[in-house]
Structure 1
Amino acid sequence: MKQTLSDSTSLVMEVRPSPSEFTVPENILRRLLVAANSYRLDEALELLTEAARTDRGRSALAYKDVLPAVLQLSRLLSSSSSVHPHLIFSTLRLLRNLCAGEIVNQNSFVRENGVEVVSIASSYVDLGSNSDYSFVRVGLQVFGNVSLGGEEHRTAVWDWHFPAVFLDIARIHKVEVFDPLCMVIYNCCKGRHERIRELSGVQGLPILIEIVRTASTVGFQEDWFKLLLSIICFEESHFLSLFSELRLVENAGNFKYGDNHFTMEQAFLLSTVAECLNKKMTEISVSNEFANCVLGILKVAVGVLDCVSKEKFGLPTGSAAIDVLGYSLTTLRDICARDEMLSSEKDSSAGVIESLLSAGLVELMLDLLRNLEPPAIIKKSIKQVESCENRKGYMSSNSLKVCPYKGFRRDIVGVIGNCLYRREHVQDEIRQNNGIPLLLQQCVTDEDNPFLREWGIWMVRNLLAGNAENQREVAELKVQGSVDLPEFAALGLQVVVDQSGRPKLVNVSADEKISGS
């Protein structure tokens, strides 16, 4: 015996708006109606969906073997010539709830070829420009729940979707689709190196490109995107390939010093990676490849300093090149802070930082500071600057660079300060490069660099701690001409102009030694 949805019997419902007849096999219909204790199919699906919201409800429905019946119903609805979107959507919602943490249902889903059924059902309705993509969203939520069941479940989901189906879905630039898509891909890739390589390879990169572009334009509401980026960029070191593919020019990987043709997608990617590192510093393992890649990007991005005016805004500024410069700098600052928080037994950060130091990180930071005009408070206090500009060895104010964003100087100081922490060879390198007076100059308040004074004091503390030579050099600095400012009095410092005409910040008394403690 079969019942139809167009009949007026108590076992079925009338489907609207289509009057077309749809036949439901009795074994499927009876199982659902009995499990829900209902006489109407639409009502039964709603009641079962509500019951499956709890662990107890899901377990009870698994015992009643409801999920296979729902899959069969969904398959029939999708293959029917009649259009019943409400019922299809109801089956998808019910399957999502049934597979939320219930291993019996998850196993049954894979065994009954649920991946194919849901994939067809979630794309059943013709999606136009006005669609809310709710079918696709719920279908992805089903796969996200199923993928948590185990490797067999993740394999079934991955093999069906990668790469073509994932790419089609990634091209739907809607946040309601974006978040569950990232969830599914993350669940399938976590702990599976071969899948991460596939996703970062020739077939998978277009998917990642679309994902980043969607996130940069419509945003995201959940953390799945960040989690996905973390395993791609940090754990597997595929950051450079993704960053390069987001460029607009050909030969994307061939960076050249001074080239500032970055894209907003690249800036967004780097800002998100920087945020991931900053907020989960004790959980993320940073590789040499990633760290040196960011340093390479920074060396390219500094070329923008030759063509920018003073910026009064912090990151993000809206300029791709400036944002790439800033976020690469803050990323390096946080990488260099890691060994302060993590033990050498637990993390390999010390080796990563030494690799950055060997690649010239400190030298680059010193050069950036030397080429910047002095902090405003010092610049305003130096007398007869114009007469000093023509002195030998002094860079004229016209050739000095300005901070491209609010906080640029502070971020440089932060990198140097973290590099100095408990590293005697870095302390010595600063002294040998005549950098001590330059670093002392940074211990001031500056409206264009919030918290510069605090970062400067941290940097100088690390510069002098346990280093007698550095302490002696600071104590023996000779005053060539000074400017007394109340702002420096509390620190025992003052601004001076040395023989080369450059402003310096030194301790008030040449006989007083600064303790490194």
Structure 2
Amino acid sequence: MAAPRPPPARLSGVMVPAPIQDLEALRALTALFKEQRNRETAPRTIFQRVLDILKKSSHAIELACRDPSQVENLASSLQLITECFRCLRNACIECSVNQNSIRNLDTIGVAVDLILLFRELRVEQESLLTAFRCGLQFLGNIASRNEDSQSIVWVHAFPELFLSCLNHPDKKIVAYSSMILFTSLNHERMKELEENLNIAIDVIVAYQKHPESEWPFLIITDLFLKSPELVQAMFPKLNNQERVTLLDLMIARITSDEPLTKDDIPVFLRHAELIASTFVDQCKTVLKLASEEPPDDEKGRISARLLLDVLCEMTANTELLGYLQVFPGLLERVIDLLRVIHVAGKETTNIFSNCGCVRAEGDISNVAEGFKSHLIRLIGNLCYKNKDNQDKVNELDGIPLILDNCNVSDGNPLGDICHPKPYRRQQPKPRFDCKDGGTGAGRCIPT
């Protein structure tokens, strides 16, 4: 493909500035690269020219970073930078030859440096945001289905670019940077992420803020939840809402219509170990709730309740049940916890006092609501086809305790617990937006 002919130096007798000639030529290239045949026949010299324009225009951004008063003079430079990124973005779509040519010119390093300068400016000009977004789109496309490009993007972008972009107020910037992270991560790089947990936590926060964006969702479900080492390292550092978000997505995966695969089982057994051990440790927090003056540890209370929910769902999965049935101290701790809060609810005034009717559709925001029913559900699951646990419940006087929690009446002689509503937390489902780059690891930003 021949390079487009630059516009004439004069239009209607007026000298045309060089930046305008460059802008028109770039726009022509961007339009040409919408066609696959043009992308496949593009000479390497074109990309060198685009890179030269990009480098030249970036000098104005560097000056504005040193002198904020220059921000208002960035209009022409931002136009050129935006069109450079659009041109490069389009050139990379489903064309590994162009990806390789552009990468070998060290364009990725220039792009990342420029994006970090954008973040340093910290202004909300729409023209700056557009250039910012297009730069991220280019990085996402050059890395798509190209391991060599993914490696170079990772070297230049990790960790500064992700720390700068995942918490950006602009949701498109968050989405595009999440796309780059998702595309670039592999098993080895997950280990690097364990040493930079702030990035992993930022992804969870991004999903909280933008549940309609598929990329943070995919990072958590397709990558984080398949790395028990990362989850174990990250879990203690999450605040209450972040922990709730992660556990919600874990429940959603366990209860989804798609069963856990053979590869998923060992991973979720590790998750089960983390959840069970954390629950056993945090039971003491719930025990404090039985006092007349509950502590202000809302994180611990809600976390213990949600951990209980996850254990209920895990023990409903036959692949995970056997492991949890023999988990040291779990059954005993659940029975002890049920006994203490049941007795305390009768003898003193506390948050469990009015929970006389066992219900299975409790609101997670109310720790006491449905807590006892979930304890009983967990005891039942742990005893399923397991004589040792059945005998253990009997030895610990668990049967009278469970029966005492049933609201018995003539019309319902076995109590409310015998007819609970099926318990399923609402599963988070992302709404996919094609403008955010498709629905898979190898998709490109469309032209």
1:60 corresponds in structure 2 to 38
Give yes or no for the alignment of 1:426 onto 2:389: yes
Equivalent-residue separation in structure 1 for 2:381 and 2:91 (angstroms):
50
Equivalent-residue separation in structure 2 for 1:200 and 1:166 (angstroms):
14
2:218 corresponds in structure 1 to 227
What's the TM-score once normalised by structure 1's chain length? Answer: 0.61
Unaligned 5+ runs, structure 2 = 64-73, 292-296, 356-366, 419-447
Larger Rg: 1
Identify the structure with bigger relative contact order (alpha carbons < 8 Å, sequence gap 6+).
Answer: 2
Between 1:175-184 and 1:60-69, the stretch displaced more is 60-69
1:153–1:411 CA distance, 2 compared to 1 (3 A): farther
The size of the alignment, in residue pairs, is: 373
Secondary structure of residue in 2 paired with 1:487: coil
Equivalent-residue separation in structure 2 for 1:13 and 1:368 (angstroms):
84
1:487 corresponds in structure 2 to 412
Contact preservation (8 Å) 2:26, 2:87: no
- For residue 195 of structure 1, what is the amino acid of its counterpart? R
1:447 corresponds in structure 2 to none
Cα drift, residue 73 of structure 1: 3.8
Equivalent-residue separation in structure 2 for 1:234 and 1:94 (angstroms):
36
Contact preservation (8 Å) 1:92, 1:122: no
1:22 corresponds in structure 2 to 19
Query: Which of 168, 172, 189 is equivalent to 1:195?
Result: 189
Equivalent-residue separation in structure 2 for 1:63 and 1:487 (angstroms):
77
**Cα deviation digits, residues 32-78 of structure 1 (max 9, x gap):** 9xxxxxxx436425523xx62xxxx2343222347725444433433
- For residue 398 of structure 1, what is the amino acid of its counterpart? T
Secondary structure of residue in 2 paired with 1:149: coil
1:277–1:140 CA distance, 2 compared to 1 (3 A): farther
Query: Which of 43, 47, 58 is equivalent to 2:31?
Result: 47
1:74 corresponds in structure 2 to 54
Give yes or no for the alignment of 1:353 onto 2:345: no
Secondary structure of residue in 2 paired with 1:243: helix
Equivalent-residue separation in structure 2 for 1:209 and 1:241 (angstroms):
11
1:245–1:334 CA distance, 2 compared to 1 (3 A): same
Question: In the TM superposition, what are the counterparts of 1:109-508 in structure 2 within 5 Å?
Answer: 109-123=102-116, 125=118, 127-131=121-125, 133-190=129-186, 192=187, 194-201=188-195, 204-216=196-208, 218-230=209-221, 231-246=223-238, 263-279=240-256, 282-283=260-261, 284-285=264-265, 286-306=267-287, 308=289, 319-339=298-318, 349=320, 352-354=323-325, 357-373=326-342, 396-398=346-348, 402=352, 404-440=367-403, 484-488=409-413, 493=414
1:199–1:6 CA distance, 2 compared to 1 (3 A): farther
1:485–1:263 CA distance, 2 compared to 1 (3 A): same
Equivalent-residue separation in structure 1 for 2:210 and 2:288 (angstroms):
30
1:137–1:338 CA distance, 2 compared to 1 (3 A): farther
Between 1:89-98 and 1:149-158, the stretch displaced more is 89-98
Equivalent-residue separation in structure 1 for 2:285 and 2:225 (angstroms):
25
1:73–1:277 CA distance, 2 compared to 1 (3 A): farther
Cα drift, residue 197 of structure 1: 1.1
Contact preservation (8 Å) 1:62, 1:105: yes
Equivalent-residue separation in structure 2 for 1:13 and 1:88 (angstroms):
23
**Cα deviation digits, residues 395-450 of structure 1 (max 9, x gap):** 84317761624332343233333333333333333233232344455666xxxxxx
Equivalent-residue separation in structure 2 for 1:177 and 1:407 (angstroms):
40
Contact preservation (8 Å) 1:420, 1:426: yes
Contact preservation (8 Å) 1:226, 1:276: no
What's the TM-score once normalised by structure 2's chain length? Answer: 0.69
- For residue 78 of structure 1, what is the amino acid of its counterpart? S
- For residue 424 of structure 1, what is the amino acid of its counterpart? K
- For residue 109 of structure 1, what is the amino acid of its counterpart? I
1:144–1:419 CA distance, 2 compared to 1 (3 A): farther
Instruction: Looking at secondary structure, tell me which structure has more helix per residue.
Output: 2
1:195–1:430 CA distance, 2 compared to 1 (3 A): same
Cα drift, residue 183 of structure 1: 2.3
Secondary structure of residue in 1 paired with 2:309: helix
1:163–1:22 CA distance, 2 compared to 1 (3 A): same
Cα drift, residue 158 of structure 1: 0.6
- For residue 182 of structure 1, what is the amino acid of its counterpart? S
Between 1:428-437 and 1:158-167, the stretch displaced more is 428-437
Cα drift, residue 110 of structure 1: 2.0
1:177–1:13 CA distance, 2 compared to 1 (3 A): farther
Secondary structure of residue in 1 paired with 2:385: coil
- For residue 8 of structure 1, what is the amino acid of its counterpart? R
Equivalent-residue separation in structure 1 for 2:290 and 2:346 (angstroms):
17
**Cα deviation digits, residues 92-142 of structure 1 (max 9, x gap):** 233333323332332233223231232244355573342463433332232
Contact preservation (8 Å) 2:166, 2:202: yes
Identical-pair percentage:
22
Give yes or no for the alignment of 1:106 onto 2:99: yes
- For residue 10 of structure 2, what is the amino acid of its counterpart? S
1:119–1:161 CA distance, 2 compared to 1 (3 A): same
Equivalent-residue separation in structure 1 for 2:90 and 2:386 (angstroms):
55
Cα drift, residue 185 of structure 1: 1.8
